[in-house]
A and B are shown apart, each in its own frame.
Chain A
């Protein structure tokens, strides 16, 4: 038998402020959110970061141009190759360095492999964030990532910190074993993406948790400078590979997938579709790759490189969005300014707007769907 309490005598509730992180496993690193909760509902959220700040931008000003290459690996440590690439592009622009044909193809192949790897991991981690019972996708994603990392390790000597792409080309030519393995791996990855699709896309529990959660409007996304799959999932067809084509992307036939809903589910579908397109690019690059030299600037010249006075901004479409390096040269062998336009930091800026009005459990999902790397946020 329930007793009716008159409205005036109802329990008065108060909002509560809690800290999520910096060691919360769902924040993917050391990241803290100050949540103000009304019951289970988020009424305010304030992201706090800086726990992983290593001062890379300042440190880089005291190192020569080539010594900075290993630092770029450590920004977004999931996709080292694309970080190297963005830095190489900026330096090539600054010093006017030509890149041989074969090196461009190698860059595209490894860069797109990195994209597949990053997107599969992002999907895996999103599922991990949804709940412990779905640990399987992240393990499957890690398995395929290991195969891709095997190739990167074979070429570069290190799995996660390749330092492989340098201004003027790549460090060394691909080993002989690389191409046969890649040819076997690409159809395999296709099958794997299809399998992920079968396993996850139609799952009712996932849809209930993801559809309509964390909606990001296209206008807000553009205003906040959000790029990458998060932007495209909100319906903006903007991909630097097409919009400001760099390297040799204009030679390949691929599409930029777009989803319009802008919620967690759309971002998931977006990543799946992009990974498929990346494999298409790899197939074409594998077919067309020419023989020839792989670098126009061997280490001994590169280490003495003194770009002319000036500035340059090199940007690429990294798996997470626009990654740019802004270099200012004063004519010496060290950069005067080394600025990183990191993707994860800018993609994180609208976290509050996406989370307001949702439950605490959804905050974790939304953060997972943005796909940040704390090494990239804090630098």
Chain B
């Protein structure tokens, strides 16, 4: 009969619509007083029910491997940056967003200027993989919108961001790379 296919299709959408309200009521406290178990990341995929999240209030936790902006890591003993200004990351970056200058020789070598242009970075992680001194890693920050053109981050800022991030070793979540 003409129209049955249409009605069958509409029954699917109707089921989804009802399912949304049902899960919304069922999961009400958990959904709005969040415990980090967000629908999108829940390991159980389900066909019906709410899927979207209420963004600024609810946030999806990032995976450990999420590639966000670059941060610098500190030496746990001395609290000094581990970077020795060897310039490997500068050469590895496909987009030229890192500029390094340093002074000193051998173990004493320290960066005098480290500029990272987050506006050009494509978060490919090649700088991290090329760093031989375990000095940098990509963080899990993702809210990078800003009102000014403050996109060039210097070493103190990168270290400060690194302190906020739980990553302590390069490639911690990547297995052996």
Which residues from A are CB-within-8-Å of B125? 157, 163
Q: Is A202 a contact of B40 with CB atoms below 8 Å? A: no
Query: Mask for A127-145, Cβ within 8 A of B = 1, else 0?
Result: 0000000001000100100
How distant is A206 from chain B, measured CB to nearest CB, in Å? 8
Contact A175 B173 (CB under 8 A): yes
Q: Is the CB of A204 within 8 A of B8?
A: no
Interface string of A155-188 (1 = CB under 8 A from B): 1111001010000000111010100110011001
Segment from B22-30, B42-50, B148-156 that makes contact with A: B42-50
Assess whether B161 is interfacial by the CB under 8 Å rule. no
- Asked if B175 and A67 sit within 8 Å, CB to CB, the answer is no
Residues in chain A near residue B16, CB distance under 8 A: 140
CB < 8 Å neighbour of A156 from B2, B46, B65: B65
Docked pose: A70 CA to B92 CA in angstroms: 12
Contact with B along A39-72 (1 / 0, CB 8 A): 0000000000000000000000001001111110
CA distance A264 to B173 in the complex (A): 45
Residues of B within 8 A of A5 (CB): none
Shortest B96–chain A CB gap in Å is 11
Chain B residues numbered 58-111 whose CB sits less than 8 Å from any CB in chain A? 63-67, 92, 94
The B1-49 residues at the A interface (CB cut-off 8 A) are: 2-6, 8-9, 12-13, 16, 40-41, 43-47
Contact between chains at A153 and B45 (CB < 8 Å): no
With A154-B63, A195-B47, A299-B129 as given contacts, are A146 and B40 in contact (CB-CB < 8 Å)? yes
Write the nearest CB–CB distance from A200 to chain B, whole angstroms: 6
Chain B residues positioned under 8 Å from A69 (CB to CB): 124
Chain A min CB distance to B166 (Å): 16
Chain A nearest CB, measured from B61 CB (Å): 12
Chain B residue numbers with a CB within 8 Å of A1 are none
Q: Closest approach, in angstroms, between the C-beta of A63 and any C-beta of chain B?
A: 6
Instruction: Convert B93-137 into 0s and 1s, putting 1 for each residue whose CB lies closer than 8 angstroms to a CB of A.
Output: 010000000000000000000000000001111100110000000
Asked whether A147 is an interface residue with its Cβ less than 8 Å from the other chain, the reply is yes
Residues of the B chain whose Cβ atoms lie less than 8 Å from the Cβ of A181:
43
Contacts of A150 in B (CB 8 A): 40-41
Indicate if A199 sits at the interface (CB-CB under 8 A): yes
CA distance A181 to B43 in the complex (A): 6
**Chain A residues with CB below 8 A from B45, complex form:** 147, 184-185, 188
Residue B138 lies at the interface, judged by CB distance under 8 Å to chain A? yes
Q: Is B177 an interface residue (CB 8 A)?
A: yes
A203-B177 contact in complex given A154-B63, A303-B92, C-beta closer than 8 Å:
no
A300 to B130, CA, bound (A): 7
Docked Cα-Cα span, A158 to B65, in Å, equals 8
**Complex: A150 Cα to B44 Cα, angstroms:** 13
Q: State the CA gap A68–B126 with chains docked (Å).
A: 11
Return chain B residues, CB-CB under 8 Å to A191: 47
Q: Write the chain A residue with the least CB distance to B62.
A: A153
A201 CB-CB contact with B under 8 Å: yes
- Supposing A175-B173, A180-B43, A298-B177 touch, asked if A143 and B13 sit within 8 A by C-beta, the answer is no
Is B175 in contact with A195, judged by CB distance below 8 angstroms? no
Q: Does B175 contact A172, Cβ atoms closer than 8 Å? A: yes
| Alpha-carbon separation in the docked complex, A370 to B122 (Å) | 30
Contact: B12 with A195, CB < 8 Å? Answer: yes
The residue in chain A whose Cβ has the minimal distance to the Cβ of B67 is A157
- Given A67-B92, A299-B130, decide whether A175 and B6 contact each other with a Cβ distance below 8 A: no
A192 at the interface (CB under 8 A from B): yes
Q: Which residue of B lies closest to A143 (CB)?
A: B51
CA distance A180 to B43 in the complex (A): 8
**CB of A198 closer than 8 Å to a CB of B:** yes
Q: A205 at the A/B interface (Cβ < 8 Å)?
A: yes
Question: Which of B47, B67, B124 counts the most A-chain CB atoms under 10 A from its CB?
Answer: B124
Cα separation A38 to B175 with both chains bound (whole Å): 63
Q: In the assembly, what is the distance between CA of A147 and CA of B43, in Å? A: 10
Besides A147-B40, A161-B123, 19 other CB < 8 A contacts? Answer: A66-B126, A67-B126, A69-B124, A70-B94, A71-B94, A140-B16, A150-B40, A157-B66, A177-B43, A185-B45, A188-B47, A198-B12, A199-B8, A199-B12, A204-B3, A299-B126, A299-B129, A299-B130, A299-B177
Q: List 6 A-B contacts (CB under 8 A).
A: A70-B94, A153-B63, A154-B65, A157-B63, A198-B8, A299-B130
* Residues of chain A having any CB pair with chain B under 8 Å: 63, 66-71, 136, 140, 143, 146-147, 150, 153-158, 161, 163, 171-173, 175, 177, 180-181, 184-185, 188, 191-192, 195, 198-205, 207, 298-300, 303
